[in-house]
Homo-oligomer: A and B are copies of this chain.
């Protein structure tokens, strides 16, 4: 096991009716900006629950944070924060709303051009408006981590930043808020959580048994309850297990003391930035191709995954590895995310464009060994046509 340092201070309130707890978390004299997306939280009653909990608070709203939240949109919220002297941001939504709100929180107190926050991966963020979350879409883990991904619409740059200052002070996870989600968003969340887990697991073994077992446990849950959530959208336990699985998949538990990959995410971000595909769609396309291209390097963990998660115990090593990759592809397909570019009307013309964007962004040494260059990415994407 490698050395690590870890701390996560987010207060979690999990379960039915827990939205009421936000009044215990936000100071009574706060000026609160409630941030959200397209308005589904108005239809399903979540926004009403939030306003009931915040009765008597000075509340403001900022809506319209889009999937893959845009720098341009978020800067409008920064203006409101400054104009209204906002002292607390409450993000109500999924990963895009929370990521966007993290950026608003940091940009509002940033002394220079806020785009610099993305260009420097958050290294110079020294403060942020306190942030709380009401999660309505389990997927990204953003509700309990300090990272965010923001897109500049003008240039199609999708970039990441991380800062302890934007770690949510608290997050409410009420599985009932997810009952009304569209199937596509549920399925995308399952694929996203799955890929988060394997980015921190499917590398090379360092004999980190807690982390391996935890990752395998989360993968089991996704295989079981991903399809179950699509079949029975109002099964509370299924929703609860998916929600907690998604949070645990990216809250600093799995990556302690182990190498991590993240090549799939980096490549996927460029595809979303360029062509607007859902984040999960890009992950489903890229991940199996990365595994095929790096099969030898990842073989030990692929075999462990085959045995422990998929119960594949017969056949040669190569046969079990191939079967594991095939079952993973089938799982993505069953979650409505086919693992190939052609399923999204994209062809080989994507390949040089993605490689070029990665080069532009300086992402030229990807993967757990840092050995995946833009030339390798071209070969990987050929396996994903």
Q: Are A14 and B7 in contact, with the CB atoms below 8 A?
A: no
Asked if A209 contacts B220 (CB within 8 A), the reply is: yes
Please determine whether A3 and B14 come into contact, CB atoms closer than 8 angstroms.
Answer: yes
Name A1-39 residues within 8 Å CB distance of B.
1-18, 21
Query: A241 near B: Cβ within 8 Å?
Result: yes
Q: How far is the CB of A220 from chain B (nearest CB, A)?
A: 6
Q: Assembly of this chain: how many copies?
A: 2
Whether B5 contacts A209 by the Cβ 8 Å rule is no
Number of interface residues of A (CB under 8 A): 43
Q: If A15-B257, A216-B217, A217-B217 touch, does A210 touch B5 (CB 8 Å cutoff)?
A: no
Instruction: List chain B residues, Cβ under 8 A from A12.
Output: 4-7
**Residue interface bits A202-231, CB-to-B below 8 A is 1, else 0:** 000011111011101110110011000000
Q: With contacts A210-B245, A220-B209 known, is A14 near B18, CB below 8 A? A: no
A256 in the interface (beta carbon within 8 A): yes
Min Cβ gap A93→B in Å is 21
Do B4 and A241 touch across chains, with their CB atoms under 8 A apart?
no
CB proximity of A251 to chain B, nearest CB, Å: 11
The reply on A262 being an interface residue by CB < 8 A is no
Residues facing B in A82-118 (CB within 8 A) are none
| B220/A217 in contact, CB under 8 A | no
Q: Which residues of B contact A245 (CB under 8 A)?
A: 209-210
Whether the pair B1, A244 counts as a contact (CB closer than 8 A) is: yes
A159 close to B (CB within 8 Å):
no
**A133: interface (CB < 8 Å):** no
Q: Mark A235-276, 1 if CB is under 8 A from B, else 0.
A: 001001100110010000100110000000000000000000
In the complex, are the beta carbons of A14 and B5 less than 8 A apart? yes
Please give, as numbers and ranges, the residues of chain B lying within 8 Å of A217 by CB-CB distance: 209-210, 212-214, 216-217
Q: A18 and B3: CB pair below 8 A?
A: yes
Q: Which residues of B contact A13 (CB under 8 A)?
A: 5
Q: Is the CB of A208 within 8 A of B5?
A: no
In Å, the complex CA distance between A7 and B169 comes to: 10
Q: How far does the Cβ of A294 sit from chain B's closest Cβ, in whole Å?
A: 24
A213 touches B221 (CB 8 A): yes
Q: Report the bound CA distance from A18 to B7 in whole Å.
A: 15
Which chain B residues border A213 with CB–CB below 8 Å?
Answer: 213-214, 216-218, 220-221
Which residue on chain B has the smallest CB distance to residue A175? B1
With contacts A210-B241, A220-B209 taken as known, whether A7 is within 8 angstroms of B11 at the C-beta atoms is: yes
> Given contacts A15-B2, A217-B216, A257-B15, is CB(A244)–CB(B210) below 8 Å?
yes
User: Is there an interface contact between A15 and B7, defined as CB atoms closer than 8 Å?
Assistant: no
Residues from chain B with Cβ under 8 Å of A237 in the complex: 1, 206-207
- A209 contact from B207, B212, B225, B253, Cβ within 8 A: B225
User: In the complex, what distance in Å separates the CA atom of A13 from the CA atom of B257?
Assistant: 11
A14 to B4, Cβ gap below 8 A?
yes
| Residues of the B chain whose Cβ atoms lie less than 8 Å from the Cβ of A7 | 9-12
| Closest residue on chain B to residue A224 by CB atoms | B209
A242's closest neighbor in chain B, by CB?
B209
- Assembled-state Cα–Cα distance A214/B12 (Å): 18
Contacts of A21 in B (CB 8 A): 5
Besides A3-B18, A210-B221, A217-B217, 9 more A-B contacts (Cβ < 8 Å) are: A3-B16, A4-B15, A6-B14, A207-B240, A208-B240, A209-B220, A210-B241, A213-B220, A214-B214
8 A–B contact pairs at CB < 8 A?
A1-B241, A3-B15, A209-B224, A209-B241, A210-B221, A212-B217, A213-B218, A240-B257
Q: Which 4 interchain pairs have the tightest Cβ spacing?
A: A213-B217, A3-B15, A207-B237, A7-B11
